Amino acid sequence: MEKSFHHSIPFLLLIPLNFDMTQIIPKTHHKIDPKLCGEILEMDTEWCQIALTLTPEMAVDEYNLVHGGFIFGFADYAAMIAINHPNVVLGSANVKFMKPVSVGDYLIAEAIKVQKERKKRIVEVMVYRSEEEIFHGEFICFTPPEHVLNH
């Protein structure tokens, strides 16, 4: 006997009430480790907010000072997500480390695309610990038509 899966409920009623039809999906950096580079909290077409909790593996000394490379990687990832292009790459960055951070700190990065001309994108990234800005950078990125490793 063959079963029929006909439902009398209209298809749209099967979508959860909290589903956002306008939600933006990340198109880049799918394999990145959120424990090292952060997790996306919110994103829009030219803006994102990501979070990272600093872990003992990031410490450089007995004071639990976290290496700046982890903060830079976190900010770089925020810039890539704000652009949200599958082939986005970093060309250069001008950054300022404003305060030290340590193991256990919870950071929020906010990235805003401020300029676009052809394949070049400029993104401003601010990283905060609570209300205190600890990092600020301008990231110049490029969106080539195909992946940079695709020869």
Any domain includes 22 = no
pLDDT at 32: 81
pLDDT at 148: 86
pLDDT at 3: 40
- Mean pLDDT, the chain, rounded, equals 86
Any domain includes 23 = no
Any domain includes 150 = no
- Cβ neighbors of 64 (< 8 A, separation 6 or more) are 56, 102, 103, 104
Any domain includes 115 = yes
pLDDT at 24: 72
pLDDT at 9: 40
pLDDT digits (tens, 9 = 90+) for 70-82: 999 999 999 999 9
Any domain includes 1 = no
Across the beta sheet with 132-142, what order do the strands follow?
39-44, 47-53, 106-117, 120-129, 132-142, 89-97
Any domain includes 43 = yes
What domain range is 132 assigned to?
A: 36-142
Any domain includes 129 = yes
State the total domains in the chain: 1
Low-confidence ranges of the chain (pLDDT < 70): 1-23, 151
C-alpha 124: how far from its chain's center?
13
pLDDT at 13: 43
pLDDT at 17: 52
The domain that holds 89 is classified in CATH as 3.10.129.10
pLDDT at 151: 65
Name the 3-class secondary structure at 141.
Answer: strand
Any domain includes 105 = yes
